[in-house]
Amino acid sequence: MHIVVLTGAGISRESGLKTFRDDDGLWEGYSIEEVCTPRAFAEHPQRVLDFYNFRRKEVAQVEPNAAHFALAELGTHYTTSVITQNIDDLHERAGSHRVLH
């Protein structure tokens, strides 16, 4: 049996990471156009770099949560693939081996 699991931002919220679209999410302080387009990078590279460097530091400070560990445990009993929209590495840090971002 091969189990495929799809995850998104909600799974990492429990670890303390903000999602992009929640009321207190990352887009509350920025518009997508300000930090997530080639034009934004061309016009304001430091703003874009600051946004993503902050995000990288934030990810480095959190730990996988029970859901990440449960999926990793599932992978010890079945062939399991995790397909995630997330750019964090919490699935891998929890022990999942077949993760597609």
Tell me the pLDDT tens digit for each residue of 16-71.
Answer: 998 877 777 777 778 889 999 999 999 999 999 999 999 899 999 999 999 999 99
The yes-or-no verdict on residue 99 having pLDDT over 90 is yes
Could you tell me the pTM of the whole model? 0.84
Domain ranges of the chain: 1-16+63-101, 18-61
d(CA 98, CA 75): 9
Beta strands in the chain (DSSP E): 2-7, 79-84, 99-100
d(CA 87, CA 101): 7
Return the CATH number of the domain spanning residue range 18-61: 3.30.1600.10
d(CA 85, CA 101): 6
